[in-house]
Every structure is written in C-alpha cells, then in structure tokens.
Amino acid sequence: MVLQKHNNVHVLLLPYPAQGHINPLVQFAKRLASKGVKATIATTHYTVNTINAPNVGVEAISDGFDNGGFAQAKNVQLFLTSFRTVGAKTLSQLIERFQQTTTPVTCIVYDSFFPWALDVAKRHGVYGAAFFTNSAAVCNIFCRIHHGLLELPVEEEDLPLFVPGIPPLDLPDLPSFIRFPESYPDYLAMKLSQFSNLNKADFMFVNTFEALESEAVNGIRELCPAKLIGPMVPSAYLDGRIKGDRGYGASLWKPLSEECSDWLETKASKSVVYISFGSMVSLSNEQIEEVALGLEQSGMNFIWVLRQSEHAKLPKGYEEMVKEKGIIVTWCNQLELLEHQAIGCFVTHCGWNSTLETLSLGVPVVCLPQWADQLPDAKYLEQVWEVGVRPKEDESGVVRKEEFVRSLKMVMEGKRSEEIRSNASKWMKLAREAVGEGGSSDKNINEFVEHLRGAHVTANLNDY
C-alpha cells in the first residue's frame, strides 16, 4: 500500500520519561514519519537532549522537575501529580504554538501512564490515542481489574488466576503489583489509571503483534478496541524499510558497543551468553553472586551488561577470575549484541522491550524476572512461545547457581536447545511479517494514518 506523502497531518507523541517507554514511542514516530506524517516527540526538559531520531521533531515540556526528572522528585506520586498539572499546562502551550503554524497538531499519541493527556487533546479538538508499552496480556489483566471483572487474589488458595485469553496464572506468574498490592500502591494505582478514561480515546495502540498475542487481545477487545502495531523495534532488524534505522535514536546512557563487538568477533557462533537486566532493575547482592558463580561454573563464554552501581555486588576479584571467558561492561547496544552471530542466549529480566527484541532477533532466553510485568512476560516466553527456560527460585526467592547452570545448559546445548532455537526462529519470522509491507501491524498503522488524513481533508473543506 503506497501512502501519499507531504500532507499536513501532524502527530505529537508523549512518552513517559523512562528509557523503556521513550524507545517504543520514538520508534512509532519514525514509522509514522516514514509514511509521510509529521511526527514530533514531546518530552521533558531532562530527557529532551537524549532523543535524536531522523525525520522526527523533538520539543520540551515540563514535568515540574526540569533538573532531574523522577530522580529529583524521589517519589512516584509526587512526580505523577506534578506531571499532570505542569505537564498538562506546558503540553497545551506547545499545541497552541503549533496551531499557529502550517502544521497544527492532528493527534496526540500519549503513553497510557498519562491519561490526562487525553483531556488536553479533547480541549484542543484533536484526536487522542493511548499507547501501551506492555503486552496485550498485561493490558487484559489490569483492564479487567479496573472494570471490576477480576478480583485480586487474597490468598494463595485463590490461585491460579483465570483471565480470558490468558493461560492460568500461578503465584510466580502474577505482576508484583497484584501479588503484593500493599507493597506497590502508587504503581498499582498508576497501572489501573491507564483505563480511567480509555473509553473516550479515539485509538488504543499496543506494542505487540497479532500472531504473538491473538488470544490475549481477543480477550480484551470486548472492553478496549486495541490496535496492535508492534514490535516497535528499529526497522533494520525487522523489515528494513526505514533507511539507516539501526537504533532507537534515544539513549539516556552512552553505549560501549565497540568494546562489546570487538570481543564478540573472537568467539564462535552461538557460543556466548549475553546477560542484561535492563536500565532499572537491581538484583539483590545474593542473586548477583549466584548468577556470577553460575556463569563461572558453566564454563561458557559470556558478556554481562551490569550498571556501575551494581558492580560492588560481584564476588571479590570476580572480573579477574573470569577474564578468560567473560567480560563485564556498564552498557552496550542491546540490538547489535542480539543480532551478533556469536550470541547463543539472552539472560533477561523479561522487560517487554527486551522481550520483543529477543523475539524479533530469534534469540533464546533464560528468564530471571524481578518485578512488575516481567513475571507474566517470563511465563509467556517459557510456556506459551517456548523460546526459553525460567529457572526455579528457592524458598528465599533466589535462583541458585546450580539451577541457573542447569537452565543455561538446557538453552545452549542438547535436544531441548534445538526445539527452543526452532521456536525462536519462528517468532522472528512472524515479527518481521507483522511490520513488513501488508503485515498486520503495518495495516493498522496505515489505517490510522489514512484516518487522520481523511479527517484533515474534511477539516480543510469545512474551512471554506
């Protein structure tokens, strides 16, 4: 489908200012720009200079903490309350400024953590589209809780939890906000608030694709008309239709990709274990030590991306001890690593972006989820998509080194490894088909663009 270019449709995209939320929305902006739409990211003063994506504009708004963002606020509720008041005001000012130009805003695509952005859109007479950065399965769970159609389990005897379109969820599979609601009241409130005015939104987008989560999304469509537009992974790793699109164009950290790639070049195909727990997860000292000792015991090559603040948790003298087999770096370009032929598996915290990246690049996983939505993501990776293994925790909630090594060997060696790799290749192919020309996600994005163009033409005709 060839879409007409050079029109005045303008989409303003508002991400939550964290790496895992910025990346997919910036990627969606690039997809829209590739179809001739003017796309602009509206982000906080603290993150505005971290975004540099070709053909995508970037504008600053305020969250009330311009010198440090969430780290300056130090409190979830305080940060969200400030963003709702100051952010709504400065977002309105940005829209008003664009309304005086030849490219007024046609639609606001807002991170679902910011339901107030829909009110801003409606006040200005533009479309509002909620963008969910988690899986359709997770949307399904929290949407049903919001609507009173699903009760939070009070006792372990209330399990498994049965949700339409989702396999039965046992205690280890539950999002931590549900498993321990009293421990995360602000986060649970934020997850549920995503659905507070969703019935008034013009569009609902979820960063997933039809073949991956058809049952989960069918279970939610009766409540929310979700459009699947993912995976929002740079085009070079999927369909290649956006020239030069090899990175998200948004990074809060400087990658050490040369150090990583030079080391990988010396290793055999599928011989390296890649370990990363994302930009926010902090494992306990005990869990870090068990992973470290397990890697040493396995005898496998490994590259471990570990934030500087976490290095003190390693056993004393560890880096020197394992230097013949592994390297530890503070950051790397994850997509480049996953694409490298030397990588044999990914030890992951199962954040949704990492999940989509590993599926899109066909890399098997060992799942070490820590909190929030990572727990159901891990269930799907192991039991539904069958692309990896989740090691068993002991009674203290720690994966011991023996269990970790057993899981590594299952994914990297033997007959089970062959089945896992075959499944990983299947999902890689389906992910590429979804975003490729005429694929399910591509069609949904095209329909969105055409709807905005049709509305824009009507608005112009009404001016005469």
* Residues classed as catalytic: 21, 111
What CA dihedral angle connects 17, 22, 25 and 29, to 10 degrees? 100
302: buried, middle or exposed (CB in 10 Å: 19+, 13-18, 0-12)?
buried
Residue type, 272: V
Distance in angstroms (rounded) separating the CA atoms of residues 129 and 28: 12
Q: Is residue 401 within 8 Å of residue 290, measured between CB atoms?
A: yes
Enumerate the β-bridge partners of residue 39.
Answer: 11, 56
Q: Is residue 136 within 8 Å of residue 210, measured between CB atoms?
A: no
Distance in angstroms (rounded) separating the CA atoms of residues 179 and 197: 25
68: buried, middle or exposed (CB in 10 Å: 19+, 13-18, 0-12)?
exposed
Distance in angstroms (rounded) separating the CA atoms of residues 150 and 220: 12
Q: Quick check: helix, strand or coil at residue 18?
A: coil
H-helix or E-strand containing 328?
Answer: strand 326-329
Residue type, 455: A
Kindly report whether the peptide bond that precedes residue 231 is cis, defined as omega within 30 degrees of 0: yes
Residue type, 85: T
Distance in angstroms (rounded) separating the CA atoms of residues 354 and 99: 37
List the beta strands (DSSP E) in 30-172.
38-44, 56-61, 107-111, 127-132, 161-163, 166-169
Q: At what angle do helices 440-462 and 19-34 cross, to 10 degrees?
A: 70
Q: What are all long-range contacts of 72-78, with beta carbons under 8 Å and residues at least 24 apart?
A: 72/46, 76/186, 76/187, 76/190, 77/186
What CA dihedral angle connects 51, 55, 56 and 58, to 10 degrees? 60
| φ and ψ at residue 249, rounded to 5 degrees | 80, 15
H-helix or E-strand containing 12?
Answer: strand 10-14
User: Is the dihedral angle over the CA atoms 164, 170, 174, 177 positive or is it negative?
Assistant: positive
